[in-house]
């Protein structure tokens, strides 16, 4: 029996020293496997007297039990060691900054359109749209520009093949046809802006064949020049972010407004810069839209969106707006913003 005890002691020491799961398994096989030392001693029991068998059997079972327990305990320790080693070698450094995500930019023109809509929106204007391919009637005739009027030549119009003799088609030369479309559909009071593409056959550092305008139209019973002035002053001061910006109204001429004015802003304390045209809607235009000029009157204005964008953001060459050069866009573009 002492052999069994000694054996067990030895195994217990080996178990404690086992440095890998494989070592431990070898010890288990050598002690408790089919041909293991303790197993063989158990088998020998058959040759003993019943009395001895009971005593020795119980003792062997105890020893076997203690070995099994020791193996289980060491196994858990070794498994922990293995796991910790793996965790240490596979550690993720989650403090690493993320890779930069390429972010798109808002084109300065889109940004200026958003700002413009926002400012006029706060003044109660709603946005209207019209087609880029426009009928001669809306682009010219209804705006008090009859067929032989010199203004038609001045606007360098792109003409399109007409579908019929009566209605020649043009690429709209300004956003003013949207005034006509609105007044023919809706009755006063009217308070709208129209933004969009316009076209003239012209190309240099300050002209491109396609450009953008914003148009404004207000028609009511008592709307007068004072309202026009206040409205444009408010817009320019908010848009150029200068509450003291000075405006100058010079007499001008447009067939569709009377009186007409050109508006300049006092730029950087050094020079007057023209930024828009405006005036009181001509009675003929109202008549052309079935609005009685004895009951209603109002004002209109139009300005180039590229022009105000170039001024505000110091962009020198208009042609670059449309070249889709990413370096230019990254420089002059804007991050998307969420507006409340
Ligand atoms: N449509 C004019 C232009 O393109 C601008 C304008 C609009 C002037 C409305 C007066 C009133 O030049």
Beta pairing, strands 126-128 & 190-199: parallel
Q: Out of 31-40, 210-219, 260-269, pick the least confident.
A: 31-40
Domain ranges of the chain: 2-89, 108-339
Supply the pLDDT for residue 160: 87
Supply the pLDDT for residue 166: 66
Asked if CATH classification 3.30.930.10 holds for the domain at 108-339, the reply, yes or no, is yes
pLDDT over threshold 60, residue 205 = yes
Residue 122 CA, ligand 1 centroid: distance in Å: 22
Q: Out of 4-13, 251-260, 300-309, pick the least confident.
A: 4-13
* Average pLDDT of the segment spanning 29-41: 90
Cβ proximity of 129 and 178 under 8 Å: yes
pLDDT level of residue 79 (50, 70, 90 thresholds): very high
Residue 82 CA, ligand 1 centroid: distance in Å: 81
Q: Which of 277, 280, 299, 306 to mutate to test the pocket of ligand 1 (most atoms within 8 A of CB)?
A: 277
pLDDT level of residue 27 (50, 70, 90 thresholds): very high
* Average pLDDT of the segment spanning 133-137: 93
Residue 104 CA, ligand 1 centroid: distance in Å: 34
Query: Is any atom of ligand 1 closer than 6 Å to the C-beta of 255?
Result: no
pLDDT over threshold 60, residue 339 = no
Supply the pLDDT for residue 102: 81
Structure tokens at 152: 């038609």
- To the nearest whole percent, how much of the chain has pLDDT over 90? 71
Q: What is the pLDDT of residues 61-70, one digit of tens each?
A: 999 999 999 9
Residue 144 CA, ligand 1 centroid: distance in Å: 12
Supply the pLDDT for residue 322: 92
pLDDT over threshold 90, residue 147 = no
Which of the pair, 279 or 36, is modelled with greater confidence? 279
| CA 263 – CA 254 distance, rounded (Å) | 13
pLDDT level of residue 93 (50, 70, 90 thresholds): confident
Query: Is any atom of ligand 1 closer than 6 Å to the C-beta of 279?
Result: yes
pLDDT over threshold 60, residue 340 = no
pLDDT level of residue 41 (50, 70, 90 thresholds): confident
pLDDT over threshold 60, residue 1 = no
| CA 287 – CA 258 distance, rounded (Å) | 14
Q: How many CB atoms are located within 10 Å of the residue 129 CB?
A: 12
Residue 207 CA, ligand 1 centroid: distance in Å: 16
The chain-wide mean pLDDT, for the chain, equals 92
- To the nearest whole percent, how much of the chain has pLDDT over 70? 96
Supply the pLDDT for residue 2: 64
Residue 257 CA, ligand 1 centroid: distance in Å: 9
Supply the pLDDT for residue 305: 96
Query: Is any atom of ligand 1 closer than 6 Å to the C-beta of 180?
Result: no
pLDDT over threshold 70, residue 59 = yes
Q: How many CB atoms are located within 10 Å of the residue 289 CB?
A: 21
Which of the pair, 165 or 109, is modelled with greater confidence? 109
Query: Is any atom of ligand 1 closer than 6 Å to the C-beta of 174?
Result: yes
* Average pLDDT of the segment spanning 281-309: 97
Give the chain as a 3 state SS string: CHHHHHHHHHHHHHHHHCCCHHHHHHHHHHHHCCCCHHHHHHHHHHHCCHHHHHHHHHHHHHHHHHHHHHHHHHHHHHHHHHHHHHHHHCCCCCCCCCCCCCCCCECHHHHHHHHHHHHHHHCCCEEECCCCEEEHHHHCHHHCCCCCCCHHHHCCCCEECCCCCCCCEEECCCCCHHHHHHHHHCCCCEEEEEEEEEECCCCECCECCEEEEEEEEEEECCCCHHHHHHHHHHHHHHHCCCCCCCEEEEEEEECCEEEEEEEEEEECCCEEEEEEEEEEECHHHHHHCCCCCCCCEEEEEEEEHHHHHHHHHCCCCHHHHHCCCHHHHHHHCECCCCCC
Query: Is any atom of ligand 1 closer than 6 Å to the C-beta of 176?
Result: yes
| CA 195 – CA 301 distance, rounded (Å) | 12
**Which atom, in ligand 1's list, is nearest to the CA of 276?**
5
* pTM beyond cutoff 0.75: no
């Amino acid at each position: 029996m002492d052999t069994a005890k000694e054996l067990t002691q030895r195994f217990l020491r080996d178990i404690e020293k086992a440095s890998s799961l494989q070592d431990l398994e070898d010890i288990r096989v050598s002690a408790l496997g089919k041909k293991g030392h303790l197993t063989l001693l158990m088998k020998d029991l058959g040759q003993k007297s019943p009395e001895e068998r009971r005593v020795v059997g119980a003792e062997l079972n105890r020893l076997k039990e203690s070995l099994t327990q020791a193996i289980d305990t060491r196994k858990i320790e070794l498994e922990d060691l293995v796991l910790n080693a793996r965790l240490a070698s596979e550690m993720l450094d989650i403090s690493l900054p993320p890779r930069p995500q390429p972010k798109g930019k808002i084109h300065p023109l889109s940004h200026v359109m958003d700002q413009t809509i926002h400012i006029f929106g706060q003044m109660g204007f709603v946005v209207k749209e019209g087609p880029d391919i426009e009928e001669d009637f809306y682009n010219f005739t209804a705006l008090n520009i009859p067929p032989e009027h010199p203004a038609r030549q001045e606007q360098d119009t792109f003409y399109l093949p007409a579908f019929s003799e009566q209605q020649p088609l043009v690429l709209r030369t300004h956003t003013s046809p949207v005034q006509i479309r609105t007044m023919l559909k809706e009755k006063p009071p009217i308070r709208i802006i129209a933004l969009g593409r316009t076209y003239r056959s012209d190309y240099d550092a300050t002209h491109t064949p396609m450009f953008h305008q914003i148009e404004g139209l207000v028609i009511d019973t008592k709307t007068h020049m004072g309202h026009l002035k206040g409205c444009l002053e408010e817009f320019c001061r908010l848009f150029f972010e200068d509450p003291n910006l000075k405006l100058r109204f010079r007499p001008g001429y447009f067939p569709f407004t009377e009186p007409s004015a050109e508006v300049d802003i006092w730029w950087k304390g050094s020079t007057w810069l023209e930024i828009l045209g405006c005036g009181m809607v001509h009675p003929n235009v109202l008549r052309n839209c079935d609005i009685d000029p004895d009951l209603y009157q109002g004002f209109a204005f139009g300005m180039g969106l590229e022009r105000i964008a170039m001024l505000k953001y110091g962009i020198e060459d208009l042609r670059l707006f449309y070249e889709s050069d990413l370096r230019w866009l990254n420089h002059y573009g804007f991050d998307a913003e969420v507006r409340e």
